[in-house]
Amino acid sequence: GIQVEQSPPDLILQEGANSTLRCNFSDSVNNLQWFHQNPWGQLINLFYIPSGTKQNGRLSATTVATERYSLLYISSSQTTDSGVYFCAVAAPRGYNFNKFYFGSGTKLNVKP
C-alpha cells in the first residue's frame, strides 16, 4: 500500500507558539486529508487538500502533490490544539485504489 510518514512523532509546545507538521507519501494521490483526533477518539476534519493551499483560522495546509508531501501549520497554538494529528491519503489507481491510508500521527501537547 501507500506509505505515509508523519513527522515529528511527538511535539511539545508552549501556548502561543507556532508549529509545522509534515506528511510524506509514496505515491500519487487523489485525496489527502488532515484530521485532529480528540481524547475521546473522534476524528475531526481539518482539511481536504489533495493539492494547493487552504487556510481556516489559525490553521493552514499546503500539499505539493508533485513532490509528495503536505504540511499543516498551526499558529498561536492553544491548549485545545492538543491531541493527535493524522494525515490520510488515497491513490487514484492500481492496488491502492479506493483505500484510505493513515500515517502514524503527530502527538501534540500544548502547555499553558
Partner 1 sequence: DAGVTQSPTHLIKTRGQQVTLRCSPKSGHDTVSWYQQALGQGPQFIFQYYEEEERQRGNFPDRFSGHQFPNYSSELNVNALLLGDSALYLCASSLAAGAANEQFFGPGTRLTVL
Chain positions contacting partner 1, by CB under 8 A: 4, 30-31, 33, 35, 40-43, 45, 48, 86, 88, 90, 92, 97-105
Least spacing, CB of residue 34 vs partner 1, in Å: 11
Compute φ and ψ for 104, nearest 5 degrees.
Answer: -90, 0
Closer residue to partner 1, CB minimum distance, 17 or 65: 65
Give the C-alpha distances (Å, rounded to integers) separating 1 from 29, 51, 97, 105, 111.
12, 20, 9, 17, 36
Closer residue to partner 1, CB minimum distance, 76 or 98: 98
